[in-house]
Amino acid sequence: MNWEPWTGCYAASDGCANCYFYGPNAKRHGQNTITKTDKFDWPIRKNKNGEYNIKGNKILATCFATDFFLPEADEWRSVAWAMIKERQDIDFLILTKRIDRFKVALPDDWGDGYDNINIGCTVENQSLADQRLPLFLSYPIKRRFIAASPLLGEIDLSAYLKTGGIDHVTASGESGRDARICDYDWVLSIREQCINAGVTFWFKSSGSLFKQNGVVQKVNPFQQGNVAKECGINILNGKRLF
Ligand code: SF4
């Protein structure tokens, strides 16, 4: 289940070049203006009996079609944090390419972080990993994961994984007609790093161009999750992220 309190986004880094929502071939082309949606207060909206419309014990993927930390959403984010705090019975999963803006508009009572938030920092290549992950690890966040997505090259995450501050890593190739290749060797390397650090790992999607044993395979958008799953390399230990 997704919650998109605002819509619109624009590129933050190399991984945004072929963004499904706002890239050159996006279905929602041109929506770079950031606006609140009519679902803004959805997590706390109640029915006529005074019960929340969204029942508890759920994972709510938050801002997966925009970015939770966009500067244009600073004012709204304070209200979003308050709604998240109110719904302690829901796990809010936030994925961002703007972790450097994490502290802007953070609530006063944040402390070590709220229990019901899991934040994912996206890293697409080594240089972005080295820029974002030291910041990510320095912030008071109770549950953190890394999304190597879209994976654009070999990445060494070992130094960050061995801190013990990262719970989980996902890896995905890029999707779309101009997608760049995802090399299976890069995926296996990240998996190995996770094994060495005792961190769970999920190969979520092969992307549109998947290179395996030197051969590049074109993968239909509806098959990319299956192709990744069929590789049989997930180490989830019962963990459910989405
Ligand atoms: S941050 Fe995410 S939603 Fe925004 S342009 Fe980049 S890939 Fe698209």
Q: What is the pTM of this model?
A: 0.95
Going by alpha carbons, the residue nearest to atom 8 of ligand 1 is 19
Least confident stretch, 25-34, 47-56, 207-216: 25-34
Q: How far apart are CA 67 and CA 59, in angstroms?
A: 18
Q: What region, left, alpha or beta, does residue 63 occupy, with left being phi > 0 and alpha being psi -120 to 50 degrees?
A: left
Q: What pLDDT does residue 3 have?
A: 97
Q: What pLDDT does residue 27 have?
A: 64
- Assess whether pLDDT exceeds 80 at residue 241: no
Q: What pLDDT does residue 22 have?
A: 80
Tell which wins on pLDDT, 111 or 31: 111
Q: Does residue 172 line the site of ligand 1, with CB under 6 A?
A: no
Question: What digits encode the pLDDT tens for the residues 64-104?
Answer: 999 999 999 999 999 999 999 999 999 999 999 999 999 99
Pocket residue to mutate for ligand 1, from 10, 16, 128, most atoms within 8 A of Cβ: 16
Closest ligand 1 atom number to CA of residue 65: 3
Q: Does residue 7 line the site of ligand 1, with CB under 6 A?
A: no
| CB 83, CB 109: distance < 8 Å | no
Question: What digits encode the pLDDT tens for the residues 150-194?
Answer: 999 999 999 999 999 999 999 999 999 899 999 999 999 999 999
Pocket residue to mutate for ligand 1, from 4, 9, 178, most atoms within 8 A of Cβ: 9
Closest ligand 1 atom number to CA of residue 9: 4
